[in-house]
């Protein structure tokens, strides 16, 4: 423990005494703060040209400092603070000065200095590069979106544009460079995420850049595929698991364009990540991080894994970041087991260390076995302690002895230790005296010699809330009391009742006294008056009600020495009807008189006396010189015999054992067990294992040889019960009605999957074979038992038909029933079907019809579902038009429009701005004044509203 001392004028002697104690040095900490503001908080990562201050956190006094950078001493850096502007690993060493010797070094604090743009340091929490635009295949475009996640105060620091580079994977050959501009609509969106603390939230901002790649099959046809990287943007926010900060590079992969099978013409080549689930959590609590992507319908399989984030520089456009020691892609934070990502894109686990941890997620998208796209996201997770907001408490104790509490009053020239008790970890402390901060008092312990009103504030950056203040405590300084020693006159012979009276005269309030003879404390001498007949040098120390002490000057006393008198017998208890021999000390020419309850015992004048009665005994010893002494009193009591009873079962399973226990009064007893009046060999403990029926007894004897025997305990032998469960036929599906189970003997308890009371519920148990256990609990183990039986719940057939299939008048559609060689099928009605007893008949109804399918498996289990075949006229929407005035396809004409009501048409450009809107679409969209390109549309019609969304190409 490190102490912070307050010293004031006039206490130089106390200072010297404390210095000579040479307290043990405790490892110092290092705090990063703004220059000149040691109580502030600053980042260990900053832009080139800026500075921060390193502060040595220690309450030690009488020490010198030496700062180091990358293991080497910094010349002249010998103060408690250091201003730095260079990157490196910094540490500080403390060395005791004066009469003490010893040193200790701190841990390493890493400082990162970064090349920043004109906006300053850009703190990047994470992000990704993705293909976001729908309808991209129409023109073979991949529309890139770079998403940078940052804090709420940083979006304006990002550059107005960045570059993305497309490389051929086979030989890292640069294919093209894409310029990406910052978005004007979605840029800087605020995203609230759940915070680690209940009721709190974390906040991030999205900074977006957009660009596109003309993904032509004639250009992008290398079998090994391509990868895309962004130019480095500095800098990555500080984390505990990545070495340094450095720039961030996003990475994406594209497959061979000629191998894409475009099953859908209205979807991206790749995919996009969803919003982050959270960037804060609590230590030692389970966490779930949703990191899944929304995949293109052209890519039907996604594989997830953890990956190392990317960085880069002028010589290497993309490379892995360097992990801190002990970390890696699949172990990016401390946990009971490494956090894992499943194949739905969800990371789960329980963090076990507080800190900030960075991780990467890779999503690989496939079309069959063809890998068409790879997307990576980098993100960070801050793990907080999250303790309850419990204010600290201040405990007053003796200095260096926190387990010895004291009052708030200290003596003149004394000191008191104030200790801050808090459940928070890794906290900063600041002590206050009379509401003003105590300079340098930043440890959990404060040692003070000054009176006043004290409190302490603890602060933890990773706690909820960050600061808590203790209730104030008051310290009062009390002056030391004075005492004078007065010697009384002699009264009679020193050997025969005479005594020398010493009186301590003091004005101390609530005083207690401690007498010493020849520097040895006199036991029991605690009053203001002390009578003595022994020679020596006497001193009295007075302690007032505040614990402050004063000491008298020594007074010499000369007197005759009386003989020794003591009772040597250690025992003090007599068994009823017995005797206890009391033995006095022996010596030359001594005589004795025994005293009981203050009165002499007639005839008891020997060195030993056999006592048979309870009472307080002393012995007067007289020497040949007639000087006498009386021994210390010895209390002797007469004890009653012990009592004992037996507890345990009254029945015994045949060929088994049961424990019997003796419950006896008294201590240090010995035990002897008996069966049917005969001693059981070796049964001499409090407990015995009974192996056969009969009458049991136990005899106990105490140290005074008083004994007692228990009453008979009858133990009867019995046989074991047979436990059974009635058979249960298999169930057909989980919707079957629960059944009541029967077991013998009655009164037992059923357990297992699907058990509710004495019933088995297929719905609760689910499909499968379930082991049901029946347990009977009787008064003894042989009246108890268990048995089990397997109950089968068959799955039954499964039918999942779509709600609706749409055809044009005169058209047909296949009804998608489940295919199985063990199923029997029945479609109804049969009208409009080519067959009604097959899995997937062809339906050609003249009007909208609801078809129902009943399926039966080989066990007789059935399932059913229905599908509605809707016969409607559909709205036709062209993919492109050419408003060039040649009379051919000059407007965007929607066919069959008259067949629908309440038609509304909205057209948007690539930035999401509305360029055309019409209700009724009486005047078709002609594209006048608009450039060529892809435009999105939203068409709604009918009641209830139906919606069509897609894109149209304007060509000239």
How far apart, in whole angstroms, are the C-alpha atoms of residue 244 and residue 112?
6
Banded pLDDT at 245 (limits 50, 70, 90) = confident
Q: Could you give the C-alpha distances from 446 to 10, 145, 823, in angstroms and in order? A: 20, 56, 83
List, as one string, the DSSP characters of 53-122: EEEEE----SEEEEEEETTEEPTT--SSEEEE-S-EEEEEEEEE-TT---EEE---EEEEEE--BTTB--
Token pair belonging to 83: 């201003």
Banded pLDDT at 829 (limits 50, 70, 90) = very high
- Give pLDDT tens digits for 785-821: 899 999 998 888 889 999 998 888 888 999 999 998 9
pLDDT of residue 10 exceeding 70, the answer is no
Architecture of domain 393-478: Sandwich (2.60)
How far apart, in whole angstroms, are the C-alpha atoms of residue 86 and residue 48?
8
Mean pLDDT of the chain: 85
pLDDT of res. 74 = 95
Token pair belonging to 138: 């129409």
- Give pLDDT tens digits for 84-129: 988 788 999 999 888 888 889 887 787 777 666 555 667 888 999 9
For the segment(s) 644-718, the CATH number from 2.60.40.10, 1.25.40.10, 3.50.50.60, 3.30.70.1450 is 2.60.40.10
| CATH number given to 483-560 | 2.60.40.10
Collapse the DSSP code of 674 into the 3-class scheme (helix H, G, I; strand E, B; otherwise coil) and give the result: strand
Note whether 393-478 and 483-560 share their fold.
yes
How far apart, in whole angstroms, are the C-alpha atoms of residue 128 and residue 445?
48
pLDDT of res. 496 = 57
Architecture of domain 804-871: Sandwich (2.60)
∠ Cα 330 333 337 (to 5°): 70
pLDDT of residue 557 exceeding 80, the answer is no
Give residues with Cβ within 8 angstroms of 859, minimum separation 6.
730, 732, 794, 796
Q: What percent of the chain has pLDDT over 70?
A: 90
pLDDT of residue 433 exceeding 70, the answer is yes
Choose among 55, 63, 53, 2: nearest CA to 30. Answer: 55
pLDDT of res. 154 = 65
Please state the domain extents for the chain: 29-114, 123-384, 393-478, 483-560, 573-629, 644-718, 724-794, 804-871, 880-954
Q: Are strands 628-630 and 615-622 parallel, antiparallel or unpaired?
A: antiparallel
pLDDT of res. 906 = 95
Banded pLDDT at 266 (limits 50, 70, 90) = low
Class of domain 880-954: mainly beta
How far apart, in whole angstroms, are the C-alpha atoms of residue 475 and residue 272?
64
Token pair belonging to 34: 């703004």
List, as one string, the DSSP characters of 275-303: --S-SEEETTS-EEEE--EEE-TT--EEE
Element (H, E) at 416: strand 416-421
pLDDT of residue 137 exceeding 90, the answer is no
Assign domain 29-114 to its CATH superfamily.
Immunoglobulins (2.60.40.10)
- Give pLDDT tens digits for 290-309: 988 887 777 789 999 999 99
pLDDT of res. 500 = 73
Lowest-confidence range among 174-188, 341-355, 471-485, 525-539?
A: 174-188
pLDDT of res. 677 = 92
pLDDT of res. 698 = 93
Highest mean pLDDT (candidates 113-127, 161-175, 401-415, 864-878): 161-175
* Global confidence as pTM: 0.41
């Amino acid at each position: 423990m490190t102490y912070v001392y307050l010293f004031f004028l006039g206490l130089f002697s106390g200072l010297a005494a404390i210095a000579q104690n040479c307290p043990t040095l405790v490892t110092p900490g290092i705090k990063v703060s703004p220059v000149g503001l040691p109580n502030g908080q600053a980042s260990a990562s900053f832009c080139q040209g800026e500075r921060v201050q390193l502060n040595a956190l220690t309450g030690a006094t009488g020490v010198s400092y030496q700062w180091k950078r990358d293991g080497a001493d910094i010349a002249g850096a010998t103060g408690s603070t250091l201003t730095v502007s260079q990157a490196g690993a910094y540490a500080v060493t403390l060395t005791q000065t004066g009469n003490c010797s010893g040193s200790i070094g701190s841990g390493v604090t890493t400082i990162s200095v970064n090349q920043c743009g004109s906006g300053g340091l850009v703190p990047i929490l994470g992000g990704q590069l993705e293909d976001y635009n729908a309808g991209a295949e129409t023109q073979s475009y991949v529309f890139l979106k770079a998403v940078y996640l940052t804090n709420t105060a940083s979006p304006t620091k990002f550059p107005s544009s960045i570059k993305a580079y497309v490389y051929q994977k086979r030989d890292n050959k640069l294919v093209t460079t894409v310029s990406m501009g910052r978005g004007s609509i979605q840029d800087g969106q605020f995203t609230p995420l759940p915070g680690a603390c209940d009721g709190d939230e974390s906040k991030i901002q999205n900074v977006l850049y957009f660009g596109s790649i003309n993904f032509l099959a004639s250009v992008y046809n290398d079998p090994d595929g391509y990868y895309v990287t962004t130019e480095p943007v500095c800098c990555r926010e500080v984390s505990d698991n990545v070495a340094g900060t450095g720039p961030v590079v996003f990475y994406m992969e594209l497959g061979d364009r000629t191998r894409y099978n475009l099953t859908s013409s209205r979807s991206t080549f790749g995919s996009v990540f969803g919003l982050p689930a959270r960037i804060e959590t609590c230590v030692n609590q389970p966490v779930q991080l949703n990191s899944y992507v929304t995949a293109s319908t052209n890519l039907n399989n996604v594989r997830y894994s953890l990956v190392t984030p990317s960085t880069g520089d002028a010589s290497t456009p993309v490379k892995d970041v360097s992990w801190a020691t002990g970390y890696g892609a699949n172990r990016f934070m401390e946990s009971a087991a490494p956090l894992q990502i499943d194949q739905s894109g969800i990371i789960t686990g329980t963090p076990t260390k507080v800190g900030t941890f960075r991780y990467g997620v890779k999503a690989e998208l496939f079309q069959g076995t063809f890998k068409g796209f790879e997307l990576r996201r980098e993100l960070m997770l801050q793990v907080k302690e999250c303790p309850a907001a419990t204010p600290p408490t201040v405990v007053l104790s003796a200095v260096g002895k926190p387990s010895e509490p004291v009052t708030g009053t200290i003596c003149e020239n004394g000191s008191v230790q104030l200790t801050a008790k808090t459940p928070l970890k890794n906290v900063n402390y600041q002590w206050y005296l009379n509401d003003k901060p105590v300079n340098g008092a930043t440890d959990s312990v404060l040692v003070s010699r000054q009176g006043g009103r004290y409190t302490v504030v603890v602060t933890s950056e990773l706690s909820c809330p960050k600061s808590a203040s203790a209730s104030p405590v008051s310290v009062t300084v009390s002056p030391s009391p004075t005492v004078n020693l007065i010697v009384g006159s002699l009264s009679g012979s020193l050997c025969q009742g005479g005594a020398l009276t010493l009186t301590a005269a003091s004005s101390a309030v609530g005083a207690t006294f401690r007498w010493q003879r020849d520097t040895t404390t006199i036991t029991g001498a605690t009053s203001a008056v002390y009578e003595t007949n022994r020679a020596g040098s006497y001193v009295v120390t007075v302690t007032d009600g505040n614990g402050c002490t004063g000491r008298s000057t020594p007074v010499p006393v000369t007197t005759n020495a009386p003989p020794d008198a003591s009772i040597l017998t250690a025992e003090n208890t007599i068994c009823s009807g017995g005797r206890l021999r009391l033995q006095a000390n022996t010596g030359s020419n001594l005589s004795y008189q025994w005293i009981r309850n203050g009165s002499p015992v007639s005839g008891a004048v020997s060195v030993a006396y056999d006592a048979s009665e309870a009472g307080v005994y002393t012995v007067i010893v007289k020497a040949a010189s007639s000087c006498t002494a009386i021994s210390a009193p010895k209390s002797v009591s007469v004890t009653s015999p012990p009592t004992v009873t037996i507890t345990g079962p009254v029945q015994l399973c045949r060929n088994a054992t049961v424990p019997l226990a003796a419950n006896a009064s008294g201590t240090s007893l010995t035990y002897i067990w008996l069966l049917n009046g005969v001693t059981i060999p070796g049964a001499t403990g409090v407990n015995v294992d009974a192996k056969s029926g009969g009458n049991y007894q136990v005899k106990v004897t105490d140290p005074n040889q008083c004994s007692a025997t228990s009453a008979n305990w009858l133990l009867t032998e019995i046989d074991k019960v047979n436990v059974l469960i009635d058979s249960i036929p298999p169930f057909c599906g989980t919707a079957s009605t629960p059944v009541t189970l029967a077991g013998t003997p009655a009164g037992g308890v059923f357990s297992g999957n699907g058990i509710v009371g004495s019933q088995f519920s297929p719905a609760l148990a689910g499909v499968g074979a379930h082991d049901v256990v029946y347990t009977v609990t009787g008064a003894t183990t042989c009246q108890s038992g268990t048995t089990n039986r397997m109950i089968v719940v068959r799955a039954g057939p499964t039918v999942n038909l779509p709600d609706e299939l749409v055809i044009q008048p005169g058209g047909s559609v296949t009804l998608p029933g489940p295919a199985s060689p063990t199923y029997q099928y029945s479609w109804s009605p049969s009208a409009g079907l080519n067959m009604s007893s097959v899995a997937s008949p062809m339906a050609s109804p003249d009007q909208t019809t609801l078809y129902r399918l009943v399926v039966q498996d080989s066990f007789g289990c059935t399932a059913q579902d229905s599908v509605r075949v809707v016969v409607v006229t559909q709205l036709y929407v062209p993919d492109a038009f050419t408003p060039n005035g040649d009379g051919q396809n000059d407007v965007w004409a929607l066919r069959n429009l008259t067949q629908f009501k309440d038609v509304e048409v909205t057209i948007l450009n690539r930035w999401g701005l509305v360029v055309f809107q019409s209700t009724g679409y009486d005047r078709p969209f002609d594209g006048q004044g608009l450039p060529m390109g892809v435009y999105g549309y939203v068409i709604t019609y009918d009641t209830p509203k139906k919606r069509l969304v897609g894109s149209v190409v304007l060509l000239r």
